[in-house]
Amino acid sequence: MKLFLYLMKILLVKLNINNETSRLRAVVLGTAQSNGPAPSLEQAYDPKSAEFIRMGAYPKEEDMTREMEAVARVLEKYDVQVFRPKVIKDYNQIFTRDIAFVIEDKFVKSNILPDREQEIQAISHVIEQIDPSKIVQLPHEAHIEGGDVMPFGDYIFVGTYRGRDYKDLITARTNVQAVTALQELFPNKKVVSFNLRKSNTEPRDNALHLDCCFQPVGRGKAIIHRNGFLEEEEYQWLVDFFGKENVFEISRDEMYYMNSNIFSIAEDVVISEMNFTRLNTWLREQNITVEEVPYAEISKQEGLLRCSTLPLIRE
């Protein structure tokens, strides 16, 4: 029995996430294998996917798989332990950030769209390596997805939607009940919420998650899109928090192409899309190494690099 407990202790993944930029040691990277046929318009979860379905240009499985494997190679280059979901036939499992998130040493399961519930089951082999006492399921009424949640030291930044038409918007993924639940779960943190602009029909005016219009990067820097925020004072709070000189403002089109949705391996290393010329130039000016990968096909589903990664351990 003692040997069993000792082995269990060794096998457990020691979760540790306190920010977006510390040195990454373990992550769950999604998969595009057996992604299934292009969905119908009625099956689209967001306006950007719907746009490409109408155009007949929805991304092909082989192209998305190639893009994701490029990310896997970069992560392995930096000695990051990479977990992958078990493949479910004809099922989209790219965006692992949606299904759960880690803050401190807690693994929080998201309450996501009902059609996507199988995604969490596909990483059960990872969850089984986590201390069960550290696994949290928020109350059923607390709708939340990991793309809306950003730990930042003593703070937790949370994207939400406070409009009365919340139930009418498939793009509204995190509600005010979830913000309250996070504050109760992490009483020593300052939970700051941001009311995001939503649209079921126009992807250029839809901040699907907080990381679609904002993300910390490097040492005290941030990427931000002003129009992603419904409340001017909340946008301004972030600019003041980081300092205007430390903020890289992206345009409406740059938000559409997901420029704020890059992924940090460390304070001085990021993975970014190869076509983000203006952003990547600025990042290098901040002495950040930019590992460029092709990810334009996956971006057609209104998600990019942060969306397809679920960090478990950062130093």
Percent of the chain's residues with pLDDT above 70:
97
Residue 253 backbone phi and psi in degrees, to 5? -70, -40
Lookup result for tokens 């009625």: 42
Contact 262, 304 (CB under 8 A): yes
Per-residue pLDDT at 161:
98
Q: What is the mean pLDDT of residues 190-197?
A: 98
Per-residue pLDDT at 7:
44
Residue 267 backbone phi and psi in degrees, to 5? -60, -30
Per-residue pLDDT at 5:
43
| CB atoms closer than 10 angstroms to residue 142 | 20
Q: What is the mean pLDDT of residues 189-197?
A: 98
211 falls in which pLDDT band (50, 70, 90)? very high
Burial 1-17 (b: 16+ CB within 10 A, else e): eeeeeeeeeeeebebbb
Per-residue pLDDT at 11:
57
Per-residue pLDDT at 115:
77
Total-model pTM: 0.94
- Segment 25-72, tens digit of pLDDT: 999 999 999 998 999 999 998 999 999 999 999 999 999 999 999 999
- Segment 134-181, tens digit of pLDDT: 999 999 999 999 999 999 999 999 999 999 999 999 999 999 999 999
305 falls in which pLDDT band (50, 70, 90)? very high
The answer to whether residue 233 scores a pLDDT higher than 50 is: yes
Mean pLDDT of the chain: 95
Per-residue pLDDT at 4:
43
1 falls in which pLDDT band (50, 70, 90)? low
Per-residue pLDDT at 117:
81
Lookup result for tokens 């304070």: 267
Per-residue pLDDT at 78:
98
Superfamily of domain 13-211+296-314: L-arginine/glycine Amidinotransferase; Chain A (3.75.10.10)
Q: What is the mean pLDDT of residues 94-105?
A: 97
The pair of three-digit structure tokens given for residue 246, joined into one six-digit string: 């430390």
Q: Helix/strand/coil (H, E, C) string of the chain?
A: CHHHHHHHHHHCCCCEECCCCCCEEEEEECECCCCCCCCCHHHCCCHHHHHHHHHCCCCCHHHHHHHHHHHHHHHHHCCCEEECCCCCCCCCECCHHHCEEEEECEEEECECCHHHCHHHHCCHHHHCCCCHHHEEECCCCCCECHHHEEEECCEEEEEECCCCCHHHCCCCCCCHHHHHHHHHHCCCCEEEEEEECCCCCCHHHCCCCHHHCEEEECCCEEEECHHHECCHHHHHHHHHHHCHHHEEECCHHHHHCCCCCCEEEECCEEEEECCCHHHHHHHHHCCCEEEEECCCCHHHHCCCCCCCEEEEEEC
Per-residue pLDDT at 114:
77
